[in-house]
Amino acid sequence: MTPLRLLIVDDEPLARLRLAALVRDCPEPRCEVAGEAGNAAQALAWLAGRPCDAVLLDVQMPGTSGMELAAELKQLPRLPAVVFVTAHADHALQAFELDAVDYLTKPVRRERLQAALQRVAQRLGRYQALPAEVPALVVTERGKVWRVPVAEVLYLKAELKYVTLRTAERSYVLDESLTELAPRLGERFLRIHRNALVARDAIRALERRGAMPATPGAEADDSAEAAEGWAAQVAPTGEWLAVSRRQLAAVREAIEAARW
């Protein structure tokens, strides 16, 4: 496969140097850093004469911001994919409104960068997706690395800027989104709500329990569904998670198919 051509745009030379090193360390998809730019004007000048597949783009830069540059890139004859790489986590929603492939926060881990580059290649039709299901999730928390078997995961729930992974024994915090995690978890998990993936065999009951707490930052539709009060009980913890209207039938089917 022809290597992906990347342009790194960041006003900090050391940040560009570290990101280039991480790109070289990613075994697949094959990538090359075709160019670097310290601001939006330099990036546009570089892109005017050279094609690239993706831009690794900082958000806060002197002059034109990364968000503004991403909007300008849409005017190019050949639109490169955009992966934001920033120290600020509070622009993620705006990033995805601009159709960014991913939003990475510094310090960037190689595994997260590689996952983002795989998505770039998939969008370009130049990379076959990895097997949908993985045997375990690797969690880095408080300086420790944990290997959590997927078979032990009860649910994953989005909470503002992070995702909580729950097993029967304890909870973990992940910095990946549910959108990123869902394809890797496979059919064993059911999306019961915009903010929750639950293991099918962990769903014990479905009830209308009155108003459920809305997730902080939830959209109006989500808050309305929470007010209706449909919830699924997760075994063995006994916790109740909100269920969206559109997923009620799927949750009922999961309960009927389960063997307790």
Q: What is the 3-state secondary structure (H, E, C) of 66-88?
A: HHHHHHHHCCCCCCCEEEEEECC
Per-residue pLDDT at 180: 78
Per-residue pLDDT at 220: 45
pTM, two decimal places: 0.52
pLDDT lower than 70: segments of the chain: 1, 126-134, 210-228, 258-260
What domains can you pick out in the chain, each with its CATH number?
A: 4-123 (3.40.50.2300), 136-257 (2.40.50.1020)
Per-residue pLDDT at 49: 87
pLDDT in tens, 106-122: 888 888 898 889 888 88
Quote the CA–CA distance of 82 and 100 in Å, as a whole number: 5
